[in-house]
């Protein structure tokens, strides 16, 4: 089953993905980005670690907003190259590794972010534990994933403009293999409850859960805005490491 690394290293996938991202009213720009940035708030003077950073466009934006440092973690070699180009003439860094293999330095960050990457990962528990380890007391983890009503079942996914969404096997977690951008890819379905429990088990205090409710000012097409009111595409979680958290132990 192809994983995220193999999928985005495919030149045909990258070309189709880039074309998709430049389409008017694409959901990344109209839904995911506004809500994620609203949850993140001011990035000024923050040390940021971005898991599954893709082309690091968030890193460039964060540094322009005054972030103190940015480190992106990305498994796809092609995406790493795009990220390095994006961060040219900035202090931003990119590490070429899978998020599953990432080992955090204790209390090195104020924000651990992940945007539409973790649905490609089978086991999130150790990643959330590493994120907790990486954060200073009071630091936050903010993530976006494909909404569980989307990842539950891809049978209604078709080429072109999607008009129906089938929710099925919702309480059956695990791998879902489907065709996207003309190629097979594996994603991992979890319920909202499972995401909540994973965050809490890692030690975080849950602050906000958001869904991708569209806002009309973000759309040029009223028809597309109305279509996006039908079902949530993305789920957002904001969680915080307690300001009273015990000092992290040296793991060396």
pLDDT of residue 161: 67
Cross-strand pairs, 240: 140, 205
Backbone angles phi and psi of 141, in degrees to 5: -115, 125
pLDDT value of position 5: 66
CATH architecture classification, 4-147+191-240: 3-Layer(aba) Sandwich (3.40)
Q: What is the pLDDT along the chain (252 residues), one digit of tens a residue?
A: 446 667 888 889 888 888 888 888 999 999 999 999 999 999 999 999 999 999 999 999 999 999 999 999 999 999 999 999 999 999 999 999 999 999 999 999 999 999 999 999 999 999 999 999 999 999 999 999 999 999 998 876 655 566 778 899 999 999 999 888 888 899 999 999 999 999 999 999 999 999 999 999 999 999 999 999 999 999 999 999 999 887 665 554
SS3 content of the chain, % helix, strand, coil (to 5): 35, 25, 40
H or E stretch covering 76: none
Q: What is the pLDDT of residue 148?
A: 97
Q: Domain residues of the chain, as ranges?
A: 4-147+191-240
Rounded Cα–Cα distance for residues 34 and 38 (Å): 6
Question: 174 burial class (0-12, 13-18, 19+ CB within 10 angstroms)?
Answer: exposed
Residue-level pLDDT at 7: 84
- Residues 17, 112: Cα–Cα separation, whole Å: 25
Cα(82)–Cα(98) distance, integer angstroms: 16
Q: Half-sphere exposure of residue 7, counting CA atoms within 13 Å on the CB side?
A: 21
How crowded is the C-beta side of 20, counted as CA atoms within 13 Å?
A: 14
Pairing of strands 109-115, 69-74: unpaired
Determine the pLDDT at residue 120. Answer: 95
Cα separation, 171 vs 156, whole angstroms: 18
Residue 157 CB: number of other CB atoms within 10 A? 14
Q: Estimate to the nearest angstrom the gap between the alpha carbon of 91 and the chain centroid.
A: 22
Q: Which two tokens stand for residue 196?
A: 């909540």
pLDDT value of position 240: 98
What lies within 8 Å, CB to CB, of 178 at 6+ separation is: 154, 157, 184, 185, 187
What value, to the nearest 5°, has the Cα angle with vertex 229 and ends 174 and 192?
A: 30
């Amino acid at each position: 089953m192809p994983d995220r690394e193999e999928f985005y290293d495919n030149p045909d996938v990258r070309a189709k993905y880039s074309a998709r991202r430049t389409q008017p009213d694409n959901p990344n720009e109209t839904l995911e980005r506004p809500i994620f940035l609203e949850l993140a708030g001011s990035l000024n003077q923050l040390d940021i670690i971005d898991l599954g950073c893709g082309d690091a466009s968030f890193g460039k934006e964060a540094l322009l907003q005054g972030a103190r440092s940015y480190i992106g973690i990305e498994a796809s070699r092609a995406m790493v190259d795009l990220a390095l180009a994006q961060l040219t003439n900035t202090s931003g860094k990119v590490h070429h590794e899978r998020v599953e293999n990432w080992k955090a330095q204790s209390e090195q960050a104020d924000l651990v972010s992940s945007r539409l990457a973790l649905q490609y990962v089978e086991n999130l528990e150790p990643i959330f534990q590493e994120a907790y380890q990486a954060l200073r007391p009071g630091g936050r983890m903010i993530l976006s994933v494909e909404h569980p009503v989307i990842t539950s079942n891809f049978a209604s996914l078709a080429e072109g403009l999607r008009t129906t969404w089938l929710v099925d096997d919702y309480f059956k977690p695990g791998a879902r293999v489907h065709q996207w951008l003309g190629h097979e890819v594996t994603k991992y379905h979890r319920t909202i409850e499972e995401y909540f429990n994973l965050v809490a088990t890692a030690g975080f205090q849950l602050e906000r859960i958001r869904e991708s409710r569209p806002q009309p000012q973000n759309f040029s097409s009223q028809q597309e805005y109305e279509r996006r009111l039908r079902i949530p595409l993305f789920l957002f979680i904001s969680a915080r490491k307690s300001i009273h958290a015990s000092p992290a132990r040296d793991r060396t």
